[in-house]
Amino acid sequence: MLKTQLKKEIEKALKEAQSKKELPDFKLPKFTIERPENEKFGDYAANIAMQLAPIIKKSPAEIAKAIVKHFKAEEFETPEIAGGFINFKLQQEYLIKNLQEIIEQKDQFGSERNNKTIVIDYSSPNVAKPFGIGHLRSTLIGDSIKKTYKKIGWNTVGINHIGDWGTQFGKLLVAFEKWGDEDELYQKGIKYLYNLYVKFHKEEEKDPKLKKLAKEKFKKLESGDKKAKHICALFTHASIEEFDKIYKDLGIKWDLIQWVAGKRNPRIPESEYNKEAKERTQEWLESGKAKESKGAIIIELPDKNIPPLLLEKSDGATLYATRDLAAAIDRYDKYKFDLMVYEVGNEQALHFKQLFLALEKLGYKWAKDCKHISHGLYRFKDGKLSTRKGKTIFMEDIINDAIEKSKKIIQEKNPDLKNKDQTAKKVGIGAIKYNDLAQHRQTDIIFDWEKILNFEGNSGPYLQYTYARIQSIIKKSNVGAGHNLPTQFKEPEEISLLRELIYFPEVVQSAAGSFEPHRIANYLNDLARKFNLFYNKLPVLKAKNEETKNSRLSLISAVAEVLSIGLDLLGIETVEEM
């Protein structure tokens, strides 16, 4: 990675200055290499001189001069000193070399090799609750994290931990027994279950006894009651049918396939761990790692500011925390992961602190390799989404509306476009994904139709249109992408694009390390914006000579390649025409 290499070259220059007695001996502090906001200050900047000044009692300018004097990296021009900062600008030969690598490596540009394994738990909707906008963030962020880690060479295991167990099933069993009909369930599917769930909570406000009845029903389910298990199997089947349709529309694929109820399905349901959770709870109780408290079973945690983890209620019912413990242990046994992340909302922060501390107390050294990657919520303008109160927005409706909106715009802009339906689906779903992933994952997003379906500026359709625009130019050239190697670039807009291309591998690494897909989205938007500035000012097919034309064709081919790779990391498909 270029930034890492630059850091090593700066360290070498400092050691050389020390060996020449131009600088005293000192322990080198950690320092960062940043990208300057203004291109005129170069490609990278370091503040190491200012960091060292108070340590070695020399001025930043004096330290910077010593570094520049002994800096010998051939990829860079002579560094410039600016008020304590040292600015580094790459030689154009290196920029052209990077351009050639993109053209030659194609979709492998920015890829790395690694033998590490990451397990990613994401999406994980609950059975009997429709796949709503509330599930979208985890699904999209988790999928992008998985794709990004795969890009940098990790083995990835994406797990969809379906919530098919818990007290909500007791509520649904009561609701179905009182107001449900099996034929209607078959006909209407998950939305029918959703209406029953909402009805239960409305009726519960009038009749508090329903809550106790629901607990009793769930206890019967846990005890293996055949009738309860049969009805819950119907709930699960109806739910999974919808989930699979949504995942197919969103282009979400799972790495892990597990057999469930005699069928091969890309999911690990929560109920798979119920028996194991009960067995492990007894094992931990007998070993003294867990203890009884007021009839329940708990694990006291090392951090006294965090409440104990409840494993089993006083009535013998397990909790999803218990099943999460069992699932985590099972995953490590299977995959020996180097990192396991749970992409789940901010509201679950305490649960995961308890979970990881419990694993640590139970003696699992790999607990330190488990992380909770949180995200904000989608909200209405008048508050949080709520399945219980019936205030939710279904993904099925969002997808259909986005596609219809896209189709209408495409029809207006390009009525002769072939495959309008296929293009509209790619553009509509791309708009949904980009609207989410372009924002910091911990930010709450106000649900706003106009913003989600906005086709101007910083949006998925803008990036897709930029890619399609480049493909149109290449097609008209009758040359093909990357058939002519670039020579020399002189115009500021050309060089600005060249410089932008060098950062892509670093952005991918940064997005992976921080679990922040918005870094890729922001980069792609900047790249597209710089391309459009370039194209609006400089001709490609009508360039002043063949050499300039071919160089510019190579440049825009590389831009298209990087746009395609980056969009794929966000789960967004490119379109050739738009």
For 243-275, the three-class secondary structure string (H helix, E strand, C coil) is HHHHHHHHCCCCCCCEEECCEEECCCCHHHHHH
CATH number of the domain to which 503 belongs: 1.10.730.10
**Does residue 158 sit in the same domain as residue 299?**
yes
Q: Which helix (H) or strand (E) holds 87?
A: strand 85-88
Query: Which of 92, 81, 8, 38 has its CA nearest to residue 498?
Result: 92
110 assigned to some structural domain: no
59-73 pLDDT, tens digit each: 999 999 999 999 999
Alpha-carbon distance 454 to 227, whole Å? 49
Percent of the chain with pLDDT over 90: 69
115 assigned to some structural domain: no
Name the band, by pLDDT with cuts 50, 70 and 90, for residue 536.
Answer: very high
Alpha-carbon distance 451 to 449, whole Å? 5
414-446 pLDDT, tens digit each: 998 999 999 999 999 999 999 999 999 999 887
The token pair at 483 is: 């058939």
**Mean pLDDT along residues 50-56:** 94
Q: What is the DSSP string of 304-320?
A: TTSPPEEEE-TTS-B-H
**Does residue 402 sit in the same domain as residue 365?**
no
70-80 pLDDT, tens digit each: 999 999 999 99
**pLDDT reported for residue 483:** 54
List the end-to-end C-alpha distance of the chain, in Å, as a whole number.
Answer: 35
Statement: residue 391 has pLDDT above 80: no
Statement: residue 480 has pLDDT above 70: no
**Mean pLDDT along residues 13-17:** 96
**Does residue 151 sit in the same domain as residue 246?**
yes
**Does residue 371 sit in the same domain as residue 417?**
no
**Does residue 204 sit in the same domain as residue 306?**
yes
177-227 pLDDT, tens digit each: 999 999 999 898 888 998 999 999 999 999 989 999 998 898 888 788 899
**Does residue 503 sit in the same domain as residue 484?**
yes
**pLDDT reported for residue 263:** 42
Name the band, by pLDDT with cuts 50, 70 and 90, for residue 481.
Answer: low
448 assigned to some structural domain: yes
Domain boundary among 337, 355, 384: 384
Query: Do residues 47 and 31 make contact, with C-beta atoms less than 8 angstroms apart?
Result: yes
**pLDDT reported for residue 272:** 72
**Does residue 181 sit in the same domain as residue 212?**
yes
Alpha-carbon distance 431 to 136, whole Å? 13
**pLDDT reported for residue 260:** 37
> Residues 6 or more apart from 513 whose CB is under 8 A from it?
none
346-383 pLDDT, tens digit each: 999 999 999 999 999 999 999 999 999 999 988 766 55
Q: Which helix (H) or strand (E) holds 34?
A: strand 33-34
**Does residue 332 sit in the same domain as residue 428?**
no
**Does residue 158 sit in the same domain as residue 307?**
yes
State the total domains in the chain.
Answer: 3
**Does residue 498 sit in the same domain as residue 432?**
yes
Domain boundary among 34, 69, 90: 90
Report helix, strand or coil for 502: helix
193 assigned to some structural domain: yes
Say how far residue 395 (Cα) sits from the centre of its chain. Answer: 18
Query: Do residues 403 and 426 make contact, with C-beta atoms less than 8 angstroms apart?
Result: no
**Does residue 472 sit in the same domain as residue 494?**
yes
**Mean pLDDT along residues 88-92:** 95
Alpha-carbon distance 496 to 503, whole Å? 12
**pLDDT reported for residue 129:** 82
Q: Which of these ranges, 105-114, 124-133, 305-314, 478-487, has the smallest mean pLDDT? A: 478-487
Percent of the chain with pLDDT over 70: 93
Domain boundary among 48, 68, 90: 90
**pLDDT reported for residue 320:** 84
The token pair at 289 is: 């790692």
107 assigned to some structural domain: no
188 assigned to some structural domain: yes
Q: Which of these ranges, 126-130, 269-273, 307-311, 562-566, has the smallest mean pLDDT? A: 269-273
**pLDDT reported for residue 376:** 92
CATH number of the domain to which 18 belongs: 3.30.1360.70
Q: Which of these ranges, 90-99, 118-127, 182-191, 260-269, has the smallest mean pLDDT? A: 260-269
Name the band, by pLDDT with cuts 50, 70 and 90, for residue 283.
Answer: very high
Which residue range is the domain that position 43 belongs to?
2-90
The token pair at 130 is: 């429709």
Average pLDDT, the chain: 90
Claim: this prediction has a pTM higher than 0.85:
yes
**pLDDT reported for residue 384:** 52
Altogether, the residues listed in the chain come to a count of 578
**Does residue 259 sit in the same domain as residue 342?**
yes
The token pair at 131 is: 């796949």
What is the pairing mode between strands 85-88 and 80-82? antiparallel
Q: Which helix (H) or strand (E) holds 323?
A: helix 320-335
288-304 pLDDT, tens digit each: 999 999 999 999 999 98
Longest dimension (CA), the chain: 88
Characterise 356 by phi-psi region: left (phi > 0), alpha (psi -120 to 50), beta (else): alpha
577 assigned to some structural domain: no
116 assigned to some structural domain: no
